[in-house]
Amino acid sequence: MLSHLLPIMAVGAASLAIILERTYALYWKFPIDNHAFINEIKQKTLSNDMAGAIQLCSSQGNALAPRVIKAGLLRASRDNRQIQAAIEIVAHEGIGSVRKRIAYLAMLANIATLFGLLGTIMGLIKAFGAVANVDAATKSVMLADGISVSMNATASGLAVAIPSMIAFSVLQAKANRLTEDVESAAMVTMDLLAARVYREEWDDLGNAKGKPTAPVMSADNSKTAKSA
């Protein structure tokens, strides 16, 4: 009796798993008070407290913006191109982590709807076939029962599809906001480090590792020196 509902139930289970996992990641794992954090990083960076800024980023767990900022701070002694490349790599990875699996929800919503329609059609075919060789007294009862069972497939498909589409829209909007935070953190980090020349390298804990063997000079400063 419920065999036509099994594919819809499977789709619903997959959709629910994605919704729960993405909700946890986007609302608890990745977010941070971006404005307050960036202001604190600005204060430490502008006061040359690079070790403190890196340690602050390391203490933020899985939050995305601190990872992007830390990638730039760890290469603060390099030229602008290397800083930008490091930031872009981490930002790209972070944005990918934010957006992954969300698009599946729209696909699963469509699949649930189609499974519901398929179940309804198959149920109607079976119902009309069953009443073909019965007497008129029982035909209407069997037909009504078959149609009722078939309509359950459509209702079940919609019951899965509608929440999936709502969750897709909500999670997609949240992912867009987190993406904007990551991009903002990347631009702020580049702005802070682009005009500065640091001569110390820092490890993941903010400990100085020594000075580079070659003089450190930004790309813009290098061109100015050559023209002079």
Residue 158: exposure state from Cβ atoms within 10 A (0-12, 13-18, ≥19): middle
Average pLDDT on 4-31 reads 92
Spatial contact of 211 and 109, defined as CB atoms under 8 Å apart: no
Higher pLDDT, 126 or 29: 29
Give the pLDDT of residue 141.
75
Q: Is the residue at 205 inside a domain?
A: yes
Q: Does 223 score more than 60 pLDDT? A: no
Q: Calculate ∠ Cα 55-61-64, nearest 5°.
A: 95
- Would 13 be classed as within a structural domain? yes
* pTM of the complete model: 0.74
What mean pLDDT do residues 155-166 have?
Answer: 94
For the chain, the domain total comes to 1
Give per-residue pLDDT as tens, 66-88.
999 999 888 887 778 888 899 99
Q: Give the confidence band of 216 by pLDDT, cuts at 50, 70, 90.
A: very low
Q: How confident is the model at residue 206 (pLDDT cuts 50, 70, 90)?
A: low
In a domain, 227, yes or no: no
- What contacts 122, CB < 8 A, 6 or more positions away? 4, 150, 153
Query: On the CB side of 76, how many CA atoms lie within 13 Å of its CA?
Result: 30
Residue at 124 is within a domain: yes
User: In the predicted model, what is the mean pLDDT of residues 30-53?
Assistant: 85
Computed over every residue of the chain, the mean pLDDT equals 81
- The answer to the question of residue 221 being in a domain is no
* Residue 115 falls inside a structural domain: yes
Mean pLDDT confidence for 134-147: 74
Domain that holds residue 185: 3-213
Is residue 64 in a domain?
A: yes
The verdict on residue 168 lying in a domain is yes
Q: How far is C-alpha 3 from the geometric centre of its chain's CA atoms?
A: 35
The per-residue pLDDT for range 112-121, each reduced to its tens digit, is: 999 999 888 8
The more confident residue out of 198 and 86 is 86
Look at residues 175, 196, 180 and name the one whose alpha carbon lies nearest to residue 42: 196
Window from 46-50, 60-64, 202-206 with minimum mean pLDDT:
202-206
DSSP structure class, residue 100 = T
Whether 219 shows a pLDDT value over 50: the answer reads: no
- In this predicted structure, the answer to whether residue 143 has a pLDDT above a threshold of 90 is no
